[in-house]
Structure 1
Amino acid sequence: MMAHLADDLLAIYGALRGAFGHQHWWPAETAFEAMIGAILAQNVSWKNAAKAVRNLEDAGMLDPELLAAADTAEIARLIVPSRFYNQKAERVREFARVYVAEFGADPVAMAAAETGALRRRLLSIKGLGKETVDSILLYACSKPIFVVDAYTRRIFSRYGLLPAGASYDLMQRFFMENLAPDVELFNDYHAQIVFLGNNICKKSPLCARCPIQEVHESLWCAEGMGAKDWNSGGD
């Protein structure tokens, strides 16, 4: 861990939380709801995913045994708000089948599995990518896995902390190698990044409103004042 990067990343988090408050993620009442929500949130806003989750709940289908045995057309009909509902119905059913068959539909048993092995198993389920699986690990299983996404790339590349074309793995390593493993920190840090990306660091950014600019006088957004690359040792 590089001390200055750890300090900088914690300062950025502090600035975001100070500006926006704790985000209280993941917005789910049960671990299984968080798991299904992570799948339904692929390529769509949480607002739309939440509608699909509520539809499943209202129909009495937010149950691993029922989803594992359901016809995909029945699931698809209920999750239309999540978009790509036919594909997602297949992913939901397959995940539910694994959850029931291998973990007894028990979130405690799933969370007790070794992190690396569990991650590999979930990634082997067709249609579940790294962001989805890591969201399940962090938000449903309380594993200290840092979730990254397109907002992470956009924000931290604009500030010169990550390359513009940074891969998922590179971004994740950047955070996990420079921050101590902390579920609560990783939980809210990712949520803060999503909030910033949604509301301020958009494709056309509102740089004057970005709390990160207050962290360090030599840190400037590439969209505005010209970023310095902390990884290159610039100060």
Structure 2
Amino acid sequence: MLPTIEGIYHNLYRTYGPQYWWPADTPFEMMIGAILVQNTAWTNVEKALDQLKDHLDPRAIHELSDQELESMIRPSGFYRMKTQRIRAFLSWYEMYDYDPKRLASKSTKELRQELLHIKGIGSETADSILLYAFNRHVFVIDAYTKRIFNRIGFDLDEKYEAIQQFFEMHLPKKVSIYNEYHALIVEHAKRFCKTKPLCEQCPIRTSCRQLI
């Protein structure tokens, strides 16, 4: 019998404790980090953010030339493409005077659609911004989620929104839980449920079909 989605959350939380995600000082830093982390490891994003630290304001980044911005975010990889994605995001954010309070009246569905219409912003990035920067009830799905829960024995749908709906149906509708669960999934995937899993040391191994 498979464990419950909520039960796995509590198991992971007991194992790893609070993760304090997203690691950022401001909502804007979080949003830039969500773009920079595309197709790279967080350690590389940290290097890029460190080089950007004196410019982590939308107006300050707007004043940078493409060459300056590319140079600063180079450690994150795909720096030319990500520069253009940051530019596209800033063009959208500028319509609201770079003020998250001006977005408060928008429904989550409406805000999500606007984010998805920004070039280079896909479902995972949009939902990360919604959850971590705007505190919306949106569960973030990533490759780690699919890997861990398929191994446990959940036959997850291939479609992003279907997996998201599955998790949201089986969890209390709390931003704090959505936030923490996503971070715990990432931590577990990095430590144990790797591409080549370390099953014998895994703290949730008794729940996993991989070992049955």
Report the TM-score range of the alignment, normalised by the length of the smaller protein: over 0.9
Partner of 1:84: 78
Are residues 1:75 and 2:94 paired?
no
1:53-132 map, 5 Å: 53-57=49-53, 60-101=54-95, 103-132=96-125
Give the aligned residue type for 1:182: K
Shift of 1:69: 4.3
Partner of 2:196: 204
> Sequence identity, in percent?
43
Partner deviation per Cα, 1:82-141 (whole Å, 9 max, x = no partner): 10000000111111121122x211122234421111101011111111101100000000
1:158-177 map, 5 Å: 158-163=151-156, 166-177=158-169
Query: What CA distance in whole angstroms lies between the structure 2 residues aligned with 1:11 and 1:111?
Result: 32
List runs of 5+ in structure 1 lacking aligned partners: 226-235
Query: What CA distance in whole angstroms lies between the structure 2 residues aligned with 1:119 and 1:24?
Result: 24
Shift of 1:51: 1.4
CA RMSD of aligned residues (A): 1.8
> Does the 8 Å contact 1:69/1:93 carry over to 2?
no
Q: TM-score, normalised by structure 2?
A: 0.93
> Does the 8 Å contact 1:52/1:81 carry over to 2?
yes
Tell me the number of residue pairs that the alignment of Structure 1 and Structure 2 aligns: 212
> Does the 8 Å contact 1:68/1:100 carry over to 2?
no
Query: What CA distance in whole angstroms lies between the structure 1 residues aligned with 2:32 and 2:129?
Result: 9
SS in 2 for 1:211: coil
Shift of 1:56: 1.1
Query: What CA distance in whole angstroms lies between the structure 1 residues aligned with 2:80 and 2:185?
Result: 29
Partner of 2:205: 213
**More moved, 26-35 vs 171-180:** 171-180
Query: What CA distance in whole angstroms lies between the structure 1 residues aligned with 2:101 and 2:134?
Result: 8
> Does the 8 Å contact 2:19/2:180 carry over to 1?
yes
**Moved runs in structure 1, 4+ residues, more than 3 A?**
none
Partner deviation per Cα, 1:16-65 (whole Å, 9 max, x = no partner): 011111111000000100010101111111111121112111xx321112
Query: What CA distance in whole angstroms lies between the structure 2 residues aligned with 1:203 and 1:162?
Result: 18
Which structure would you say has the larger Rg? 1
Query: What CA distance in whole angstroms lies between the structure 1 residues aligned with 2:12 and 2:159?
Result: 23
1:128-167 map, 5 Å: 128-163=121-156, 166-167=158-159
> Does the 8 Å contact 1:17/1:192 carry over to 2?
yes
Query: What CA distance in whole angstroms lies between the structure 2 residues aligned with 1:220 and 1:63?
Result: 44
Question: Higher relative contact order at CA 8 Å, sep ≥6: structure 1 or structure 2?
Answer: 2
> Does the 8 Å contact 2:31/2:133 carry over to 1?
yes
Query: What CA distance in whole angstroms lies between the structure 1 residues aligned with 2:201 and 2:180?
Result: 20
SS in 1 for 2:126: helix
Partner of 1:30: 26
Give the aligned residue type for 2:141: V
